[in-house]
Copies of this chain bind each other. A is one copy, B any other.
C-alpha cells in the first residue's frame, strides 16, 4: 500500500511544492499511451520503456509519478472508468441492483473487460496492487451498492436480516467468474437468470 499510495499522498498535498511542478500534460500522455499499448499488446506485452517512448517521456518521469507498471494501469483505468458502471436509482432496490449488473456486463463485454481482468490478475500476483485495487475500485462500488441494499431493506423490498456482502457476491460473483475463467460467455440471459435466482432465493 505504501508504494501505491505514494502518488495519492502527493495529490492530497495541496500546498504548491517548491521547484518546477509536475507536468499534468505528461501525466495524461502516459495514461493515454498505457491504454493504447494495453489494447495493442495486452498486459504482459506492455513495458515501461514502451510506455515512455510512446508517450514521448523519459523513463525517470514514469518512476517519479508511479511506483510500478500496474499503478499506471490502475490510474489509467480509474480515470477512464470513474462514474461509469452506474447503479440505477429507480426507487426499487431490486431494479437498481439489476441495472448495476447489466452495466457491469456491458463493461466486461467491451474493450475494458480484459483490462479489468488484467488488473485483478495483477492484484492477485502483487499484494500491493491488490490492496490499491480494493481501495479504489472494489470498496467504493461496494459502498454504493450497500446503500442500495439498505434502501431496499428500509423500503421492505428486502428482508431485514439481509447480508449485503453475501448478496452482492451472489449477484456479481458469477459474472466476475466468467470474466476470469472465460469458460462461458457473459450474455444477457445469464445475467438475468442469475439475478432472478438470487433475488428469488433471498425472499423471505
Interface residues of A in 111-136 (CB under 8 A from B): 117-118, 120-126, 130, 133-134
A contacts with B, residue count (CB < 8 A): 46
Cβ of A107 under 8 Å from chain B: no
Chain copies in the assembled complex: 4
Instruction: Contact check, B123 vs A118: say whether CB atoms are below 8 A apart.
Output: no
Pick the residue among B42, B117, B176, B196 that contacts A173 (CB under 8 A). Answer: B176
Given contacts A123-B182, A170-B170, A170-B194, 19 further A-B contacts (CB under 8 A): A42-B125, A44-B126, A117-B124, A120-B124, A120-B181, A122-B125, A130-B182, A133-B181, A134-B182, A134-B183, A170-B197, A170-B198, A173-B173, A173-B175, A174-B174, A176-B181, A198-B198, A200-B202, A201-B202
